[in-house]
Chain A
């Protein structure tokens, strides 16, 4: 767009240097007319898959800007301003999307989750998950030990649940999503039975992210493991435990 005859004749191209991680990530992007007031995607929306470079919060973002001027023209500028933002429009812009992943190291303390739960005279179990903190490609390894079984169990499953919460106070908004229902046991065990648990987080079809707690005091993303036992009459007995997910590798 030109006011003084500039702009449209200059082509600007931004090239980002490859980030130190040298990792890219495929992201599904919507070019959408959806707004916060009207979150439904419109008829002209496209969904594309693009490969974006991945930066961590410690990386330097470097690159070059190339201006292509028409023959003989000059362009004076006051400098470049690179802004990292979302949804920025105006001036001569070129948008380049990046992907930011928060990578951390192995947590120092990582105790197991071990608990005995039950319902009086009906069902007593002791469950154990090896760790409380799991990397995104980790395996949830544990076992379920049956101390008392007086109900007719049909099957047992583990559900991996993601809960996003945004806002604070009266604006608090929660959203839960079950990412995976993983059947752990088929049929009814007897007292003394010990059932192994082995759940590959990599098998979860959706992208996992690390746990976020109170980002900017407004935003949280937490993960839970829900152990569910279903009896013959479809009654559900469950126990939910939070697990902390952390990112070990970029990608």
Chain B
């Protein structure tokens, strides 16, 4: 049956033409109400379906065409019935046809109308039909014939609640019918594989089988649509039946496809899914060394991926899921793992138990660490992949990092344990992976630290509350006792004692549970992580140390904050060599120091001095100038009203003056003028803040200096830029001079205007 595309089209169009022709005469016979002629012509038309020349796809085209025409015949039968013809006669008459394929199509057509007429119980007719269709054993023809049977019978099954229920049968008859059809169709479908031929025809057969698979799958859909089938029946009777067929047929294509169908028909039912996976796993484990070909691998991968969209994390509860996963090669496991993570994220899954997290992380090991890829040793960390691989890798690791955000427990102790577990897993990922995964863990850890701190604070508050309450209660009791005594003393024989009312004691609420994992411990945990990263990623670690310092400061842990800061500084000194990196790091360090409010003043002192020194040692002069200027703020941190403010006015001035000096030494053309203006703005800032060291004379002097230098500049873009900035500054001063409130203060600044 190997014919070219052209030949196929030729056969197909020839067959379709004949069908059209017969159908034309047939319709005429129908109009003339001539039963004999109609049946004869219908048989002629249906005879075209006897062909063995067409591929399944083309046969399908022909089949659809014939079915279109067959509809007229069905309607004719219905009209005959309405006119009073007993169906049993027609049912017999069509069986006179001597060719089996036309005979059975006609029988099914009549059968459908027969059931509808109600002249015989539906189950009897269905039973007869399913028995008679056995006569077509040729796979393709048999499959299509049975498909016609399935289609025709679909709305005539004696399902619960249907009009055919009762005498016509019940849902058991319905599903037994569908199961039988399914069983036989599956057998025919598998038989196609073994229709012989060499390797090239085998490939073709497999493709043909793929084209036909939906015919088999439809039966499973039918079963899932039966109203009368409850979970019990499905689990105890139907599913085992189906799975038995799946196992018995010993065909990988069938098994893969059918498992897909089963799961798709009943989404979200965990026990079914587990059952199916279990069957699949047991099938595989039964074969000692399962040689999984490409198709089976793809099917298993799909099988494992399908339940994810509806079940997400719940698949981890399925024992067989993990087991089945192990049968797949590396690459496919990776795919499944990716889908698993994505669907969990999408469904807002919560990883709130150690067990869940462990299961998840174990399932996604291909994403977390390197493994042997099908016999090859694990890829080295230094693998220089091409850019697209790199991008893919980054995406993948970002996805993994997001897993950390799914770790949510109401109990901070549990959360800590979960983070520790995650740390262990991610630590195995190697240098390339930790860059993406560990920072996420650090940030989450910092949030946890704040949570734990809040708990600790609550405990402390509670303790003092309890003390107060106890004191008050004691006082109340004493007062009451005294009042009672006084009443008794005052009592006479005529006037008995009037006892005071007993006061209600103040209720003492239950204590909040103290966290078992202290805040300090969390910081230790984070310290370890950041240190571990420092070797390979010093800049990143520096940033993380700074971040941690801020959080530690917020939690009132001065010593820990200082420790983090010093670690950051050490990294700066030892590891940062690139001037750009230094500049950026330095800016962050200044910002961090300004955010922290709780350092001991000695500690703060040494830190800011160190920072300023770093600033002065930067390679490029303009950078030095800018940074030293910035550092001046370290010496004037916080508003005057702030109890923790650090004000050293003189050092501020020193910084600014040093900056000026550096700026002066800038050789780059007119860069220094720009710097001067910037420094002037800084002076202005401190002046407005009433920094005692910054006096108006300094401003006046600087303005004069700038004026001088500007005149000496070439007329170019740079000058224009500087002039704009400068003019704005002068305008600002001008406004201040005019304003009633600041007139006096700014009077002393000579702008030379």
Q: Which residues of B contact A155 (CB under 8 A)?
A: 100
B538 lies within 8 A of chain A by Cβ: no
B135-143, B557-565, B579-587, B612-620: which one contacts chain A?
Answer: B135-143
A123 on the interface (CB 8 Å rule)?
Answer: no
- In the complex, the answer to whether A186 meets B135 with C-beta atoms within 8 Å is yes
A185-B142 Cα distance, complex, nearest whole Å: 11
Cα A190 to Cα B191 with chains together (Å)? 9
Chain B, 86-113, CB within 8 A of any chain A CB:
92, 95-101, 103
B139 touches A187 (CB 8 A): yes
> Is B131 an interface residue when CB atoms closer than 8 A count as contact?
yes
Partner of A184, one of B97, B100, B138, B139: B100
Q: Shortest beta-carbon distance, A167 to chain B, in Å?
A: 33
The chain A residue sitting closest to B97, CB to CB, is A203
Assess the B100–A185 pair: CB atoms within 8 A.
yes
User: Which residue of B132, B141, B142, B191 contacts A198 across the interface (Cβ within 8 Å)?
Assistant: B132
Contacts of B136 in A (CB 8 A): 185-187
Known: A183-B103, A196-B132, A203-B98. 12 other contacts (CB 8 A): A183-B100, A186-B101, A186-B135, A186-B138, A187-B138, A188-B137, A196-B131, A196-B134, A196-B135, A198-B132, A203-B95, A203-B96
Query: Which of B73-131 touch A at CB < 8 Å?
Result: 92, 95-101, 103, 131
A195–B139 alpha-carbon span in the complex (Å) = 15
CB distance from B545 to the nearest CB of A (A): 74
Query: Does chain A have a CB within 8 A of B10?
Result: no
Task: Please tell me if the beta carbons of A186 and B100 are within 8 angstroms of each other in the complex.
Answer: yes
From 176 to 195 in chain A, residues with beta carbon under 8 angstroms from any chain B beta carbon are 180-190, 193-195
B50 within 8 A of A: yes
Min CB–CB distance A19 → chain B (angstroms): 28
Bits for A185-219, please: 1 = Cβ < 8 Å to B, else 0: 11111100111101010110000000000000000
Verify A195–B98 contact, CB threshold 8 A: no
- Chain B contacts for A186, CB-based, 8 A: 50, 100-101, 135-138, 141-142
> A231 → chain B, closest Cβ, in Å?
13
In the bound complex, residues from chain B placing their C-beta under 8 Å from that of A183 are 98-100, 103
**Chain B contacts of A180 at CB under 8 A?**
98
Give the docked Cα–Cα distance between A180 and B103 (Å): 15
**A155: nearest chain-B partner, CB-CB:** B100
Chain B positions within 8 Å of A200 at CB level: 92, 95-96
Q: Which residues of A114-131 are within 8 A (CB) of B? A: none
Q: How far is the CA of A207 from the CA of B99 in the complex (A)?
A: 20
> How far is it, in angstroms, between the C-alpha of A203 and the C-alpha of B93 when the chains are bound?
8
Chain B: interface residue count, which band?
20 to 34
How far is the CB of B658 from the nearest CB of chain A, in Å?
Answer: 98
Q: Please indicate the chain A residues that have their CB under 8 angstroms from the CB of B95 in the complex.
A: 198, 200, 203
The 9 A-B pairs with the shortest beta carbon distances in the complex, nearest first, are A187-B138, A203-B96, A187-B137, A183-B100, A189-B137, A186-B136, A186-B100, A185-B135, A182-B98
Instruction: Please encode chain A, from 95 to 108, with 1 for each CB lying within 8 Å of some chain B CB and 0 for all others.
Output: 00000000000000
A185 CA to B133 CA, complexed, in Å: 10
Nearest residue in A to B102 (C-beta to C-beta)?
Answer: A183
Can you identify 20 A-B contacts, CB atoms within 8 angstroms? A180-B98, A183-B98, A183-B99, A183-B100, A184-B135, A185-B100, A185-B135, A185-B137, A186-B137, A187-B138, A187-B141, A188-B137, A189-B137, A193-B137, A195-B134, A195-B135, A196-B132, A196-B135, A203-B95, A203-B98
Contacts of B103 in A (CB 8 A): 183
> Please, which residues of chain B bring their CB within 8 A of the CB of A194?
134
Most buried by A among B50, B98, B99, B138: B98
Bound-state CA distance A133–B134 (Å) is 26
Find chain B residues with CB under 8 A from A190 CB. Answer: 191
Q: Which residue of A lies closest to B95 (CB)?
A: A200
Q: With both chains docked as a complex, state the minimum distance between the C-beta of A224 and any C-beta of chain B, in angstroms.
A: 17
Q: How far is the CB of A40 from chain B (nearest CB, A)?
A: 30
Query: In the docked arrangement, what's the CA distance between A202 and B97, Å?
Result: 11
| A203 CB contacts on chain B under 8 angstroms | 95-98
How far does the Cβ of B114 sit from chain A's closest Cβ, in whole Å?
Answer: 16
How far, in whole Å, are A122 and B137 apart by their CA atoms in the complex? 19
CB-contacts of B210-258 with A (<8 A)? none
Are B98 and A193 closer than 8 Å at their CB atoms? no
The residue in B92, B96, B135 that gathers the most chain A C-beta atoms within 10 A of its C-beta is B135
How far does the alpha carbon of A202 sit from the alpha carbon of B98 in the complex, in Å? 12
Q: Are A181 and B98 neighbours in the complex by a CB distance under 8 Å?
A: yes
Most chain B beta-carbon contacts within 10 A, residue among A183, A185, A200: A183
Q: Please, what's the 1-or-0 string for A150-190, where 1 marks a CB less than 8 Å from any CB in chain B?
A: 00000100000000000000000000000011111111111
Q: A183-B99, A186-B141 are in contact. Are A193 and B50 (CB under 8 A)?
A: no
Name the CB-closest residue of A to B137: A187
Distance between A194 CB and nearest chain B CB, rounded to angstroms:
7
- Write out the residue numbers on chain B whose beta carbons fall within 8 Å of the beta carbon of A188: 137-138
Query: Which residue in chain B gives the minimum CB-CB distance to A181?
Result: B98
Q: Count chain B CB atoms within 10 A of each CB in A182, A186, A188, A193 and give the residue with the most.
A: A186
Give chain A residues whose Cβ lies under 8 Å from the Cβ of B97.
203
Segment 163-218 of B: residues with Cβ below 8 Å from A: 191
CA distance A200 to B90 in the complex (A): 13
Q: How far is A186 from B139 in the complex, measured between Cα atoms in Å?
A: 10
Chain A residues lying within 8 Å of B135, measured Cβ to Cβ, are: 184-186, 195-196
Q: Which single residue of chain B is at the shortest CB-CB distance from A153?
A: B137
For A144, give the chain B residue with the smallest CB separation.
Answer: B135
A35 nearest CB across to chain B (Å): 36
In the assembled complex, the CB of B95 is this many whole angstroms from the nearest CB of chain A, namely 6
Kindly list chain B residues whose C-beta atoms are within 8 Å of the C-beta of A196: 131-132, 134-135
* B103 → chain A closest CB, angstroms: 8
CA distance A38 to B136 in the complex (A): 48
Per the bound structure, the CA–CA distance linking A116 and B135 in Å amounts to 20
Cα separation A181 to B101 with both chains bound (whole Å): 14
Nearest CB of chain A from residue B94's CB, rounded to whole Å: 10
- Cα of A228 to Cα of B141 in the assembled complex, Å: 21
Nearest chain B residue, comparing its CB with the CB of A152 = B196
Complex: A8 Cα to B357 Cα, angstroms: 121
- Chain B 495-514 interface mask (CB, 8 Å, partner A; 1/0): 00000000000000000000
Contact at A187–B142, with CB atoms within 8 Å? yes
Question: For B141, what are the chain A residues with a Cβ–Cβ distance below 8 Å?
Answer: 186-187
For residue A72, give the distance in angstroms from its CB to the closest CB of chain B.
57
Q: Which residues in window 297-328 of B have CB below 8 A to A? A: none
Q: Closest Cβ of chain B: how far from A126's Cβ, in Å?
A: 16
Instruction: Give the docked Cα–Cα distance between A168 and B138 (Å).
Output: 48
A156 to B434 Cα, complex, angstroms? 71
Min C-beta distance of B96 to chain A, whole Å: 3
What is the CA–CA distance of A32 and B160 in the complex, to the nearest angstrom?
67
Bound Cα distance from A203 to B92, whole angstroms = 9
Q: Which residues of B contact A193 (CB under 8 A)?
A: 134, 137
Bound Cα distance A178, B731 (Å): 121
Whole-angstrom distance from the CB of A110 to the nearest CB of chain B? 21
The interface residues of chain B lying within 8 Å CB-to-CB of A181 are 98
> Which chain B residues border A189 with CB–CB below 8 Å?
137
Closest to A196 in B: B131
CB-based nearest A residue for B100:
A183
Complex CA–CA separation, A155 to B141 (angstroms)? 13
Give the distance to chain B from A178, nearest Cβ to Cβ, in Å.
Answer: 11
Give complex CA distance A193, B188 in Å: 12
Instruction: Report the Cα distance A46→B634, complex, angstroms.
Output: 132
Q: How far is the CB of B596 from chain A (nearest CB, A)?
A: 83
Q: In the complex, how many angstroms separate the beta carbon of A133 from the nearest chain B beta carbon?
A: 21
Chain A residue at smallest Cβ distance from B142: A187
- Alpha-carbon separation in the docked complex, A67 to B310 (Å): 100
Q: Among B136, B139, B141, which residue has the most Cβ atoms of chain A within 10 A? A: B136
For residue A247, give the distance in angstroms from its CB to the closest CB of chain B: 20
**Residues B251-291 near A (CB distance < 8 A):** none
Residue interface bits B421-432, CB-to-A below 8 A is 1, else 0: 000000000000
Residues of A within 8 A of B132 (CB): 196, 198
- Residue in B closest to A187 when the chains form the complex, CB atoms: B138
- B131 and chain A: residue at smallest CB distance: A196
Per the bound structure, the CA–CA distance linking A203 and B131 in Å amounts to 21
Complex Cα spacing A245 to B100, Å: 24
Most buried by A among B50, B96, B97, B101: B96
